[in-house]
């Protein structure tokens, strides 16, 4: 097993993805959690927001925003999925990539603290959808963590997941980003990666 220490520094604001209504979140996470206890524990990290439809970040008991490990695993899957379509990439050759990432990539700690550089605020933006009744527009509101903020975590990999493959996925993050509204470059980051063993 190889272990890497990774630091992501956001070059664009990072938008929160968690519904800031505990009741809605509890209903959703209960369908995904391994156990009722796990669902209850994760729901406690959601702060209530007054404004309906707001998304934000999980928080520690003292209020520090965090990312869960599965956010990074999801990012790796998203990056690999996109890069499989790019000729000449290492990801192009990785078959069964979702199972490989689920079974051979381990992000620690489970709760990854976000070091916030400056004041958090909100990003309000229109969401457009084509429906049978015509185009509909609604507003989305998300907490945003300012550019310059960072996260640090370790990644343990086994088997076919190499340092070069991890670097390819992380390089993609500078273009794609993490969190909500990635197609507008939100959550784009620079990174450092150090092999620990």
In this structure, the strands spanning 14-15 and 150-157 are unpaired
- Find the range with the poorest average confidence among 16-20, 51-55, 129-133: 51-55
Residues 6+ apart with CB under 8 A from 110: 68, 69
Q: How many domains does the chain have?
A: 1
Is 44 a residue whose pLDDT tops 60? no
C-alpha torsion sign, points 25, 29, 35, 38: negative
Question: Is 43 within the bounds of a domain?
Answer: no
Residue 177, pLDDT score:
93
Confidence of residue 50 (pLDDT cuts 50, 70, 90): very low
In this structure, the strands spanning 134-145 and 14-15 are antiparallel
State the CATH number of the domain containing residue 186.
3.30.70
Is 33 a residue whose pLDDT tops 60? no
Assign 34 to helix, strand or coil: coil
Residue-wise pLDDT tens digits, 134-174: 888 777 889 999 999 999 999 999 989 999 999 999 999 88
Question: Is 70 within the bounds of a domain?
Answer: yes
Residue 49, pLDDT score:
46
C-alpha torsion sign, points 35, 36, 37, 38: positive
What range does the domain containing 163 cover? 2-19+52-195
Question: Is 86 within the bounds of a domain?
Answer: yes
């Amino acid at each position: 097993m190889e272990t890497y220490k990774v630091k992501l520094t956001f070059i664009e604001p990072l938008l929160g993805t968690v519904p800031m209504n505990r009741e809605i979140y509890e209903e959703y996470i209960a369908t995904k959690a391994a156990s009722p206890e796990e669902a209850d524990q994760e729901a406690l990290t959601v702060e209530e927001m007054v404004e309906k439809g707001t998304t934000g970040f999980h928080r520690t008991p003292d209020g520090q925003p965090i990312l869960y490990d599965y956010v990074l695993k999801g990012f790796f899957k998203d990056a690999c999925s996109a890069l499989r379509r790019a000729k000449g990439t290492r990801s192009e050759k990785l078959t069964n990539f979702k199972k490989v990432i689920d079974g051979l990539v381990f992000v620690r700690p489970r709760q990854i603290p976000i070091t916030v550089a400056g004041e958090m605020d909100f990003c309000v933006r229109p969401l457009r959808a084509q429906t049978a009744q015509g185009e509909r527009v609604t507003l989305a509101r998300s907490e945003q963590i300012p550019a310059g903020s960072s996260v640090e975590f370790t990644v343990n990999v086994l088997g076919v997941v190499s340092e070069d493959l991890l670097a390819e996925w992380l390089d993609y993050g500078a273009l794609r980003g993490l969190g909500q509204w990635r197609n507008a470059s939100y959550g784009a980051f620079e990174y450092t990666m150090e092999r620990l063993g």
